[in-house]
Structure 1
């Protein structure tokens, strides 16, 4: 695990479940946006934001492990959702994975659609690991 820092910027409102700034030295790991496809490419949780988010985080977890990273190494998460109403379900699942005392920086964006019409959420991650 790399040593990450979470500076608090003066004059910026506190983040709700995210950090504004995360820094660290090490190797950069970029994980492509993950959707709720299982290992066989089957969509999990059609119409269910929480079920889809659980599969997305499971996919992110597998990708982090493949890179030799852990959730403690994650510095940034980008959330794309077709309805901002999914945000509470996303936050619920996210809090099972990230250190809520020092969460990664993040961005949440509502989009018109994802790569297929039954996908509700896509999340990409960036991590920094020791070399």
Structure 2
């Protein structure tokens, strides 16, 4: 693929496995799942779901920016939570990072996430 670009920024956590922060093909950007890692230290944000989700959305925004867009270019968001009891808090935070019309979205409860975090979010952007 000659039009495939790997997106990488120090403003988001480095990959903790064999994947890229994001891949851009044409005007579409696929952002890998982000967990609440602080980019500078690669340490996890601890505490309640609000603090964790805030860091996740900051990480997603940094990668979107590095790709030449913003979270408002998102067309699909996938959210994984270890407890759907956190659904309302995550909804409220998401609304503060995105403008209407909101992207399509799925939110599922999972048994576990990397590094035992409570949330992971991935995004697809159309620039």
TM score, norm. by length of structure 2: 0.76
CA RMSD of aligned residues (A): 1.0
Deviation, 1:116, is 1.8
For residues 1-80 of structure 1, what are the structure 2 equivalents within 5 Å?
A: 27-39=27-39, 40-46=41-47, 48-80=48-80
1:45 CA displacement? 2.5
Match of 2:18 in 1: none
Report the counterpart of residue 118 of structure 2 in structure 1: 120
How big is the shift at 1:88?
A: 1.1
Deviation, 1:89, is 1.3
Q: Which has the higher contact order (CA 8 A, sep 6+)?
A: 1
Alpha-carbon distance in 2 for matches of 1:63, 1:71: 9
Q: Which runs of 4+ in 1 moved over 6 A?
A: none
How many residues get paired? 101
Q: What secondary structure sits across from 1:116 in the alignment?
A: helix
SS of 2:120's equivalent in the other structure is strand
In structure 2, C-alpha distance between the alignment counterparts of 1:30 and 1:79, rounded to whole Å: 14
Partner of 1:98: 98
CA drift of 1:86 comes to 1.1
C-alpha distance after superposition, 1:5-28 (max 9, x if no partner)? xxxxxxxxxxxxxxxxxxxxx611
CA distance in 2, matches of 1:96, 1:45: 21
Cα separation, 2, equivalents of 1:64 and 1:82: 25
Higher helix proportion = 2
Q: Secondary structure at the match of 1:43?
A: coil
Q: Secondary structure in 1 aligned to 2:80?
A: strand
